[in-house]
Amino acid sequence: MSIIHKLPFEWLVGLRYTRAGKGSGRSGFISFISLISVAGIGLGVAALIIVLSVMNGFQKQVTDRMLSVLAHIEVFDARGDMPQWRAAEQEALRNPAVLGVAPFVESQGLLQKNGAMRPVTIRGVLPSAERKVSKVANTMRQGSFDSLAPNTFNIVLGYALASGLGVEVGDKVTMLLAQAQTTPAGMLPRMRSFTVSGIFESGHMEFDAGMAFIGIEDAQKMERLSAPAGLRLRVADMHAAPQVAAELEKSMSGELVMRDWSKLNAVWFGAVQTEKKMMFIILTLIVTVAAFNLVSTLVMTVTDKQPDIAILRTLGASPRSIMKIFMVQGAVAGLLGTALGVGGGVLVALNIETIVPFIENLLGVQFLSKDIYQFSAVPSDLRWPDVAKIGSVAVLLAFAATLYPSWSASRVKPAEALRYE
C-alpha cells in the first residue's frame, strides 16, 4: 500500500481538491485562480530573497571598501596621547583574535593648491605597520605608500581629492590645521607645505575625496604631540570586533577607550538596517496580497464543494474534519508557492552576476554606472537565515489565509446544501 493511501481521509480529500479543476467550467476557473495565488506567493517570496540578497551585496561591498581604509578597532588613552603604545601593542597582540596593530595620529584640516581648497581627514601612519590593519597600500594608483618616511613631509591623497585640487605626484600642497598658533600677527592656523608622493583609490568616495595620509612623525609635529594618538587594530572576524573590543578593554592596562568599526559608522549602518527592514515589510505585502487571493480561492472552492461537504457530513465527517480538508488544500498551495519562490529566488540570487550582464547586453543598458557606484556589477550576498525567515513568513501567511474559509466550510449545513441538488 502506498504512503498516500495511509494518510487520513482529510488529507486525501484536501489533496484531491488541490489537484482537481483541470476541466472546464467553474472548477476550472477556481483552479486557475488557485494557480494565480500560488504564482503570486512564489513571485513575492522570490522578490524578497533577490532584493535582500542584492541589498546585502551592496552593504558587503561598501563595508569591505570602508574597512580597506578603516581599522576594525581603534584604541585611545583617555588621558591624551599614548607614549606607552609599544607596550599596549604587545598587550593587544596577546589576544588571538587580533591580527595586526598600527599607531596613528588623526586630525581635521584643509588642503590648498592654486586657490582650490578641500576639507580633509589627515591620518599620520607608520607605513610598515599600516599594512597590517588596512589595505590602502594595495590601492595605490600612483606613487608609493612607503614614501611616508619620517621628516620627508610627503603626503598620499585620495584619487578624488587629488583631482579636486588638480595635483599629481610631485606637486606641492599646503596643509592648514584647525588648531591655531599665536604669532605677532595674531592667531593663525598651522600651515605646512607637503609634497604629493602618492595617490590611492579605495573605491569609497567618502575616503577618496576626503582622506590624506602622512608619516606619523610628521603628524606628531603638526599636532605637537610627543607620541601617537592611539592604535588601530585588525581582527580575524570583523563581525566579532565589538566583542573583541570589550575583551581588550578588560585585559589591557591603563585608562583606554575602545571604538569598533560599527560605532565609527553607526549612522550609515543604522540607515542600511532601517532600509532593509522597510524593504522586507514592503515586499512582504506582495506575499500578503497573494495570501488574500488564496482566501478568495478557498471561499469559492467551499461554495463550489458544498454538496460534497454535505455528503461527507451525512457519512459521519465532523466539522473539525471538514475544516482540516480545506486547511490542507490551502496549506499545500502555500507550501508549493513558497517552495517555488525559494527555489527561484535562490537560483537568481546565486547567479545574479551572470543574469544582470546578460540583460544589460540584451537591452543595451547599464544599470550601475561605475562613475557613481565605483563598481559596475550588481552584487549579491545570499544569506540563508534571510531565506529561512522569508519562507517561514510566507508559510504562516498562507496558513492564516486558510482559517476563515475552512471555518466557513465546517459550518455548512447538509440539509440546506443538498436542498437543490
Query: Quick one: cell of 397?
Result: 501567511
Neighbours of 314 (CB within 10 A): 12
For residue range 182-201, what is the model confidence (pLDDT) as tens digits? 555 455 667 889 999 999 98
Checking if the pLDDT of 421 tops 60, the result is no
Checking if the pLDDT of 73 tops 80, the result is yes
Query: Quick one: cell of 13?
Result: 480529500
The closest of 139, 199, 214 to 164, measured between CA atoms, is: 199
Look up the pTM and report it: 0.70
| pLDDT attached to residue 207 | 86
* Interior angle at CA 158, CA 152 and CA 162, nearest 5: 85
Query: Quick one: cell of 157?
Result: 591623497
Rounded to an integer, the average pLDDT of 245-255 is 86
Checking if the pLDDT of 157 tops 90, the result is yes
DSSP result, 144-204: -GGG--TTS-EEEEEHHHHHHHT--TT-EEEEEEEEEEEETTEEEEEEEEEEEEEEE--S-
Rounded to an integer, the average pLDDT of 329-340 is 87
| pLDDT attached to residue 326 | 82
For residue range 377-416, what is the model confidence (pLDDT) as tens digits? 778 889 899 899 999 988 998 888 888 888 888 887 776 6
Q: Which residues contact 52 (CB under 8 A, 6 or more apart)?
A: 276, 279, 280, 383, 386, 390
Q: Would you list the domain boundaries of the chain?
A: 4-64+269-418, 71-261
The closest of 5, 93, 46 to 283, measured between CA atoms, is: 46
Whole-angstrom distance, CA of residue 412 vs CA of residue 302? 9
| pLDDT attached to residue 279 | 83
Between 206 and 388, the more confident residue is 388
